[in-house]
Chains A and B, each alone.
Chain A
C-alpha cells in the first residue's frame, strides 16, 4: 500500500523533500514507515529519540497502524511562540 510521508523543519532539510510517497507492506505501523525511511536516509536517525509522529494530522505513536493513503508525519522538537 502507499502512504504519504510528511517531513518538517530540519528533518525536511535533511531529507531534501517535504513530502514523499512510499510503498509499505500491508499491516505496516508508523514504525515500519520510519524504518524504511531511515534505511533510505540514514541522516534522519538522529531524530529517532526526539521526534513526534502524526497520522492524518493527529498526534500518534510509533506502534499505530497505518492504512492505504494515510499521511504519516515525522516532527522534530517544536519551537513555536
Chain B
C-alpha cells in the first residue's frame, strides 16, 4: 500500500495503519485523523459531496507534505490517503496516520498534515445540498508560501 494516494476507492484506515506500524519496534504512538462528509455546512443541508483532484500534482503535493513533516519530526512516519469522486454523508474523505516513538510528535505531524492538505493539495469539493450545488473554495495553493506553512506548524504545535 502506497504511503500517499488519491483514490476513488473507499479508504481503509486500518490497512494504512497496519502498513505503517509493520516494522514499528521503536515506535510507541500512532495518531490518526479521519475526515468525514458532514450532513450540514454553512446552514445548508448537504446531500453528498463530489471530490475532484489534479491527480499527478495532488500526489506530488502529498509527498511534499510527507517530506516537510519529516524535516520537522524526523522520527515520524506519515501516511495520507485522499478519496475522490462521489462521497455520501458519513463516508471518509481523507485518512492520515502518523507513527512515532512518542505521542507528541505523532499528534503534531498528523495535525500538520491535514492543515497542509487544506493549503496546498489540488483537490476540490462540490457540495450538493438541498436546492443546488456549489464548489467550495479555500486557500490559494502556494507551496512556497512560508507564512502559510508556518501557520500550519503553529497550529500543529499548539
If A58-B60, A80-B82, A80-B118 touch, whether A75 touches B126 (CB-CB below 8 Å) is no
If A75-B54, A80-B51, A81-B35 touch, whether A52 touches B142 (CB-CB below 8 Å) is yes
Among A13, A58, A81, contact of B117 (Cβ-Cβ < 8 Å)? A81
B57 touches A80 (CB 8 A): no
C-alpha spacing A13/B53, complex, angstroms: 14
How many residues belonging to A are interface residues under a CB distance threshold of 8 Å?
A: 20
Residues of B within 8 A of A50 (CB): 137, 140
B122 touches A8 (CB 8 A): yes
Residues of B within 8 A of A73 (CB): 54, 57
B140 touches A52 (CB 8 A): yes
A78 touches B114 (CB 8 A): no
Is the CB of A9 closer than 8 A to any CB of chain B?
Answer: yes
User: Can you list, as one digit per residue, whether each of A42-66 has a CB less than 8 Å from chain B (1) or not (0)?
Assistant: 0000000011101001110000000
Closest residue to A57 on the B side, CB-wise?
A: B56
Question: Could you tell me which residues of chain B, from 90 to 135, have a CB within 8 Å of some CB in chain A?
Answer: 93-94, 114, 117-126, 135
A51 touches B57 (CB 8 A): no
Among A52, A75, A81, contact of B114 (Cβ-Cβ < 8 Å)? A81
Among B93, B125, B135, B141, contact of A59 (Cβ-Cβ < 8 Å)? B141
B141 touches A78 (CB 8 A): yes
Among A13, A54, A76, contact of B57 (Cβ-Cβ < 8 Å)? A54
B57 touches A58 (CB 8 A): yes
Question: Could you tell me which residues of chain A, from 6 to 58, have a CB within 8 Å of some CB in chain B?
Answer: 6, 8-10, 13, 50-52, 54, 57-58
Known: A9-B52, A73-B54. 6 other contacts (CB 8 A): A9-B135, A59-B144, A75-B122, A77-B141, A79-B123, A79-B136
